[in-house]
Structure 1
């Protein structure tokens, strides 16, 4: 499949599914955190997902170990991936989840800025910047009130989550601008899962986390969902999309994820859904539409 310059119905449909899965992941992480330490949880997820992606690749006959110039960028992407989740989970120990969402979803802007130098063929038009601004305004409408009331050392967590956003964007740009863009999505993802499967458990041990301290069926089910649906299936689909479609256009869809997370919290955990949720959804949807309209010729 040759690279495309616009998102078609397949890409849009997949991104809607993935953003919904990533939104539900926010609920799954909350449930699993009641019985598994944060960084250890991320490490277990990477270990399980790496085994699943390797098994999937073996069944499909995907070549994973041939020399194709991807070793160095693959290791870099893996370190960025591991660092992103370590900083995210650690940062949320200092700041609130709602503040963290705002800083994390600066990542699409970092992708757009990096694309100016690394992906000149994905030059952002004014309408795309406007659309991303509208989508981010939707995130601010949902969570922005919490920015005005920092507590204690929240700024430390804010900085760590923002750093996680930069690493998330760095992973996307590394994949798109290197030899990784020419290999299978399985190999692309396996680099990241394998490196994080080694790095995150070691970091957890260094931090003195207790690991699995209160295992329950709900905790294991939440970890299984993260491993199978999120880190294996959805990430595999995401990197397939990154290989074939413009990264800047795909990144604009990520603003849907926090809104889907709040909706999932309302449906699955009984959390209150205020009018701001639906206003945010409208703003994000409008922003995505504006950002992905075909340009005038």
Structure 2
């Protein structure tokens, strides 16, 4: 029986900060690898590479992945939403700038908050926690909101796609937390999503007319290996382990750190510009996470 916690302990909070750092670094890795492998195809191939790794790991740990437990349709639905999230992100980025896209994508924690409020009353946020979620989102706007003007041309299409990706991301989290997927191993929950996205994303890549492979270099393959092993296999396995044991809304609040880590790694590794508002953004996100996760008096 999976042990459920009502609050995040030190282990959960440490893991979440580490995961956000890995996901932030992944933004840089994916950007660099895009020069050799088209983005949607890249996401599909990393799932295809991570799935057998997860199967081998599960076999070694004695964790069954193919037993009948009544989760097939929910697992397939979670996998399709997982694939839709990445397809919409990369497709939307062809219409709208990445800095603008981040703001729309990180509405996902609000989707989780609303979904858990309706479906899991025990995880409803109080006023202070809701204020914390808003404060953390304001931190993202402070860091990336300089492009938040009225959409021009076809930017609104990209904005809508990123909102759709946020909905898919949040809905996946709620589905896993609320359904029978929360009672099975994190390994099997992740396997559903890797297996489905390994098929769906390459097909989406073809539909989008991506070029596929464009003379990938050894660096491209090294970055792809990091995404496959470090991100799609290890970090996502840790994430699904967490959301089956801890309140999903409180965990999701930490995700606001990811784009800030991405900005820092982009500056360190790519020489990208850091917005002067990054300090304020870090403060707002930190205060927001604290408010969401503090215990009520």
User: Aligning the two structures, in what range does the TM-score lie when normalised by the shorter sequence?
Assistant: over 0.9
Residue in 1 that maps onto 2:203: 202
Verify: 1:295 aligned to 2:290, yes or no. no
> Within 2, Cα distance between the matches of 1:147 and 1:205?
31
Of 134-143 and 213-222, the range deviating more from structure 2: 213-222
Verify: 1:211 aligned to 2:205, yes or no. no
SS state at 1:244 partner? coil
Deviations 1:36-64 (A, max 9, x none): 11111111111011111111111111011
> Within 1, Cα distance between the matches of 2:167 and 2:185?
24
Residue in 1 that maps onto 2:274: 273
Residue in 1 that maps onto 2:43: 42
Consecutive unaligned residues in structure 2, runs of 5 or more: none
Task: Give the TM-score, by structure 2 length.
Answer: 0.97
Residue in 1 that maps onto 2:226: 225
Verify: 1:181 aligned to 2:179, yes or no. no
Deviations 1:140-168 (A, max 9, x none): 00111101264431111010011000000
Q: Give the superposition deviation at 1:262.
A: 0.2
Deviations 1:85-123 (A, max 9, x none): 111111011101011100000000011111122212211
Verify: 1:283 aligned to 2:279, yes or no. no
> Within 2, Cα distance between the matches of 1:214 and 1:280?
38
Residue in 1 that maps onto 2:149: 148
> Within 2, Cα distance between the matches of 1:93 and 1:56?
36
> Within 1, Cα distance between the matches of 2:253 and 2:45?
29
SS state at 1:275 partner? coil
Deviations 1:174-217 (A, max 9, x none): 10111100001000000000000011111212222221112011
Deviations 1:207-264 (A, max 9, x none): 2222111201121111111111111111000000000000010000000001010001
Contact 1:45 1:231 in 2 (8 A): yes
Runs of at least 4 residues off by over 2 Å: 149-152, 272-275
> Within 2, Cα distance between the matches of 1:54 and 1:118?
32
> Within 2, Cα distance between the matches of 1:181 and 1:149?
40
SS state at 1:50 partner? helix
Residue in 2 that maps onto 1:164: 165
> Within 1, Cα distance between the matches of 2:279 and 2:194?
35
> Within 1, Cα distance between the matches of 2:208 and 2:158?
16
> Within 1, Cα distance between the matches of 2:65 and 2:233?
16
Q: How does 1:231-270 map to 2 (within 5 A)?
A: 231-270=232-271
Consecutive unaligned residues in structure 1, runs of 5 or more: none
Q: How does 1:67-216 map to 2 (within 5 A)?
A: 67-148=68-149, 150-216=151-217
Q: Give the superposition deviation at 1:287.
A: 0.7
User: Number of residue pairs matched?
Assistant: 296
Contact 2:86 2:165 in 1 (8 A): yes
Q: Give the superposition deviation at 1:22.
A: 0.6
Contact 1:79 1:195 in 2 (8 A): yes
SS state at 2:277 partner? helix
Residue in 2 that maps onto 1:26: 27
Contact 1:38 1:90 in 2 (8 A): no
Contact 1:77 1:191 in 2 (8 A): yes
> Within 2, Cα distance between the matches of 1:219 and 1:149?
36
Task: Give the TM-score, by structure 1 length.
Answer: 0.97
